Amino acid sequence: MEPHSWCEISRGALEHNVKQLRRVVGSRCMLAPVVKANGYGHGITLAAAAFLSAGADWLCVNDLAEANLLRRAGLGCPIYVLGWVAPWEMEEVCGLGVRIVVYDSDAVVAAAAAGRSHNRSIPLHIKVETGNHRQGLPPNDALALARLVNDLEGVYLEGITTHFADIEDTTDHTYATKQLTIFEDFIAQCSHAGLSPSIRHCSNSAATILWPNTYFDMVRTGIASYGMWPSKETLLSAVLADRHGMQLRPALAWKARIAQVKTVPKGSFIGYGRTYQATHDSRIAVITCGYYDGYDRRLSNLAYVLVNGVRAPVRGRICMNLMMVDTTDVDSSDVSLRAGEVTLLGDSAGERISAEQMAEWIGTINYEVVARINERLPRREVM
Ligand SMILES: *Cc1c(COP(=O)(O)O)cnc(C)c1O
C-alpha cells in the first residue's frame, strides 16, 4: 500500500546533530537525547537508533510505553523515564531495566518493594523543585526523600535533577541562573548529608547550547538533536554569547500526494464554509493530507506547500484528510497524479518550509508542529 502522506527522516542529519552536541559537551559529560513524543514526531525507534549510532550514551523517554517500544526494537541502552510513573508500574520498571524520576515517597516505597521482589536495586533520580513548578520537590523535602531512598533496599539514589522554566523564551537568563543556584545548593546539601548521586543533570537543548556550567554529568537534549533551535531567543543568545558555531540540520520532511487536479473558474468558492473565492481562473490541486494527519486546520488560507520547489498557497479550509492548493503558477508538468509528491514541511528543490515558519503561521512553537504529525504516517529513513 502506498502511503498518501508520510515523513522522510534524514538519518545523516540526526547523526550530525548529535555529533554537534557531543562536540560542545565533550567526552566526559553523558549525552542523553530525548525521544519522547514519537521522537519529536520523527519516529521513536528510527531516531533512537540514529542517536545511539552517533554516540549518544542514554536515551530519555516520557513513559514506560515508549521505553517498551525501544526495548522491543532491541535497544539495550540505558533509558531514563522523564515523565510520570505510577506506583503500580514498578514491576514493569524492573522488567524494562529503566531508571525513573521520583518526587514522592509513594513512588519510592513502591519501587523499593518491586526491586526487592526481583532481587534488584532500581536506580532512582530525585527531582528538585527550582522554579518550574512542574515535577519536583522543594530542596528540604527532596533531601528527606533522598535519605529515604538511601535507607531502603531495592532502590538506590543514582541521580538528582531539575528542569529550567525560562530559558528558551527570553534572552534574559536571570531566572534560569537562580534555578541553577538552587540546584547547586541542593547538590551541596546532598553531599553534606553523605549522599552523592553520581549523575546530576538539568540541561535541556537551550542550556546545552548556551551554558557549559549546566552540564554536570549529563545533558538531556531534545529539540536540538532533531536539528531545530529551541527558539529565536536561544539562537540570538548563542550569537550574543559567541556560541553560534552550532550547526543544526533539520531532519524531517513531510510529504503528500496530488489526488486530483481541476480548473476552477474565477469567482468559484473553494472548500467548507466557502472561505476562499477564486480571484482568477485557477488550477487547483487536491492534496492527500488533512488535520487528522496533523496538518493544523489553522493553516487554512494561510500556508503554502512546495511543488517541485514552487510555492502553492493553501486555498480554503483544511479538511480532515484533504486540502486544496492553488497550483496555477506551478509548471503544469509538476502538477499531476503521476508527478509525485508535494512537500508540506522541509526542503524541495532549493526552497524550504521550516517547522518554525509553520509554527509562526499556527501561533505555536516548532516543538508542537513536529510532535503532532500523526504517528500513523510512515517515517521513511533517508540518508
Ligand atoms: C522534553 C524534556 C527535555 C528536552 O527539552 P528540549 O528543549 O527539547 O531540549 C529535557 N528535560 C525534560 C525533563 C524534558 O521533559
Please identify, by atom number, the ligand 1 atom nearest to the C-alpha of residue 135.
13
Q: Which residues are catalytic?
A: 36, 272
> Does residue 162 sit in the same domain as residue 271?
no
Ligand 1: which of 34, 51, 101 to mutate, judged by most atoms within 8 Å of the beta carbon? Answer: 34
| Element at 92 (helix H, strand E) | helix 90-96
Ramachandran angles phi, psi of 56, nearest 5°: -65, 145
The domain that holds 367 is classified in CATH as: 2.40.37.10
Distance 61 CA to ligand 1 centre (A): 10
Looking at residue 242, its pLDDT comes to 81
Q: pLDDT tens, 255-310?
A: 999 999 999 999 999 999 999 999 999 999 999 999 999 999 999 999 999 999 99
> Does residue 75 sit in the same domain as residue 152?
yes
Distance 259 CA to ligand 1 centre (A): 38
> Does residue 225 sit in the same domain as residue 327?
no
Q: Where are the beta strands (DSSP E) in the chain?
A: 5-10, 30-31, 59-61, 79-81, 99-102, 122-127, 155-161, 199-203, 218-219, 252-264, 269-270, 276-277, 282-287, 304-307, 310-315, 323-326, 341-348, 351-353, 379-382
> Does residue 164 sit in the same domain as residue 283?
no
The answer, yes or no, to whether any atom of ligand 1 lies below 6 A from the CB of 17, is no
Please identify, by atom number, the ligand 1 atom nearest to the C-alpha of residue 161.
13
Q: Are 371 and 253 in contact (CB under 8 A)?
A: no
Alpha carbon of 307 to those of 9, 142, 311, 325, 331: distances in Å?
Answer: 19, 55, 6, 10, 9
Identify the domain containing residue 374 by its residue range: 252-381
Low-confidence ranges of the chain (pLDDT < 70): none
Q: How many domains does the chain have?
A: 2
Q: Are 314 and 301 in contact (CB under 8 A)?
A: yes
The structure's pTM equals: 0.97
Instruction: Indicate whether 358 belongs to any domain.
Output: yes
> Does residue 320 sit in the same domain as residue 373?
yes
Instruction: Indicate whether 5 belongs to any domain.
Output: no
Domain end call among 241, 268, 290: 241
The answer, yes or no, to whether any atom of ligand 1 lies below 6 A from the CB of 39, is no
Distance 297 CA to ligand 1 centre (A): 27
Domain end call among 222, 241, 260: 241
Which residue has the least CA distance to atom 8 on ligand 1?
222
